[in-house]
Amino acid sequence: MLIRVTEEVLRPEEATAAVESPGAGAIGLFLGVVRDNNKGRRVAYLEYDAYPSMAEKVMREIAEEARDRFGLIDCAVLHRTGRLEIGETSLLIAVSCGHRAASFEGGHWLVDEIKKRVPVWKKEVWEDGEEWIEGPESLGMQAPASMR
Amino acid sequence: MLIRVTEEVLRPEEATAAVESPGAGAIGLFLGVVRDNNKGRRVAYLEYDAYPSMAEKVMREIAEEARDRFGLIDCAVLHRTGRLEIGETSLLIAVSCGHRAASFEGGHWLVDEIKKRVPVWKKEVWEDGEEWIEGPESLGMQAPASMR
Amino acid sequence: MEITVLLFASVAEAAGARRLQLPIEHGDTVATVRDRLLAERPALARFAPNLLYALDEEYVDTAAPVHAGATLALIPPVSGG
Amino acid sequence: MEITVLLFASVAEAAGARRLQLPIEHGDTVATVRDRLLAERPALARFAPNLLYALDEEYVDTAAPVHAGATLALIPPVSGG
């Protein structure tokens, strides 16, 4: 199971190779990519911060849960940090499985969970300012009172 | 829109490059891969036949419908023909879109539709025999009487 | 007047051919051409229940008329992907 | 007795620090450490409503006891992906 938080460029072919298996009939990849706009504002670039060791730990927990829930053969989860330009890949996921449905459902679930609980943060930088984004789906926006 | 039926090896990086766009926040890839088993039998290799010109026409129709239905920015659909060994990619799909949900839903729909109506056929070759597969989801298994 | 008939996969193997030129008559439809072809080549009969037909690369009803120079493809259940 | 406090993203920028060493007392919990930290650094108060806490890389309730040598991370709403 390939799990990594890195400042290096993410390479889809590495993630694909990591999940390949003779029993796999489907491989799904997801690339989260830096978009040139968000909520009607032009984005110049993004800056990602992370708590790398905990992020890798949580990514591994999510990947193991996805494997068990969706019957995946293997999965890979990589997140990039630092400054990312428009078009660059911030999140890279690969899953392998026997049949196609699990590749789509498992991949979708993985991305949803990553956005909830992996300690990574993005700052949007515009021509005229910048802002750290608080993910609307994050656990921090909906955790129980006992965690406050 | 990159649409192709070919005997050449399918390259995911070509499909990704074909759908990249500054407005894309998500890129989804799907690889249909030759599995070493099917219904409990060991598969030695697959042989794909196609009606290439019609297959490309139908793939384009499906891709255009997917783009409109799911609000995709772009998509690429490539199918390989000829002899394919275990682990090789027979079907390659890439979609780009603003947000992640459409990449999974649109990709899943594309694969489902391709299996219904694109004129491509696989022959499974085992140690001790071979068989042309009739896709259980194909239009041919469920078309109206007027088409018979 | 002739049409081209294309055969694929299991059907091509059973027929021993991937392409045939068939004479057609005025008023012929996909169904009449198909019936004549099956009569000539009984090896194809077992595929008939699940065959679909494409006329010039478009799935059609078997009542569709065929015209000289058309391409008719016999499409067994597809299994791409 | 000390713990390490890690700060990230918006919180690190507001604090002007990514890592602090804080003294702790017997019976301290995540909540008591947090309250002391916010009293010392009022610039962090505005983040408090949405903060979560990780103790040694695990999300915890704020009632969790802290131990000497522990690492406490302040986690603003994540926005990876």
Q: Give the Cα separation of A75 and A94 in Å (integer).
A: 5
Average predicted confidence (pLDDT) for chain A = 97
CATH number of the domain that residue C24 is part of: 3.10.20.30
Question: What would you report as the CA-atom Rg of chain D, rounded to the nearest whole angstrom?
Answer: 12
In a domain, D80, yes or no: no
D38 to chain A, any CB pair closer than 8 A? The answer is: no
CA atoms within 13 A on the CB side of B43: 27
Kindly state the average pLDDT of the residues A58-85. 98
Q: Copy the structure tokens of residue A53.
A: 């060791």
By the CB < 8 Å criterion, does B40 face chain A? no
Closest Cβ opposite residue B141 in set C10, C50, C60:
C50
Residues of C in contact with B111 (CB under 8 A): 81
D81, part of any domain? no
Report the distance separating Cα D44 and Cα C46, nearest Å.
Answer: 77
For residue C81, the model assigns a pLDDT of 96
Decide if C77 and B134 are in contact by the 8 Å CB cutoff.
yes
Chains D and C touch (3+ CB pairs under 8 A): no
Q: In the Cβ-directed half-sphere of B137, how many Cα atoms lie within 13 Å?
A: 12
pLDDT at position B80 is 98
Predicted pLDDT at A107: 98
Residue C58 lies in a domain: yes
Which chain D residue shows the shortest CA-CA distance from A142?
D50
CB C11 within 8 A of CB B123: no
| B52-76 per-position pLDDT tens digit | 999 999 999 999 999 999 999 999 9
Determine the pLDDT at residue A63: 98
Q: Is residue C56 included in any domain, yes or no?
A: yes
- Looking at the 3D structure of chain D, how many domains does it have? 1
D77 contact partners, CB below 8 Å, separation of at least 6: A134, A135, A138, A139, A140, A141, D50
Query: Does residue D35 belong to the interface with chain A, where contact is any CB pair within 8 Å?
Result: no
Does C80 fall in a domain? no
pLDDT digits (tens, 9 = 90+) for C68-78: 999 999 999 99
pTM reported for the whole predicted model: 0.96
Q: What percent of chain C has pLDDT over 90?
A: 100
pLDDT top residue among B25 and A40: B25
Residue D57 pLDDT grade (very low, low, confident, very high; cuts 50, 70, 90): very high
Give the Cα separation of A63 and B92 in Å (integer): 24
- pLDDT at position B136, please? 95
Domain that holds residue D37: 2-75
**Which among C6, C60, C79 has the least Cβ separation from residue B135?**
C79
**Predicted confidence (pLDDT) per residue in B10-35, tens digit:** 999 999 999 999 999 999 999 999 99
Contact criterion met (CB below 8 Å) for D11 and D44:
yes
Q: Kindly state whether residue C81 falls inside one of the protein's structural domains.
A: no
Nearest by CB to C76, from B50, B121, B148: name it. B121
Reported ipTM: 0.95
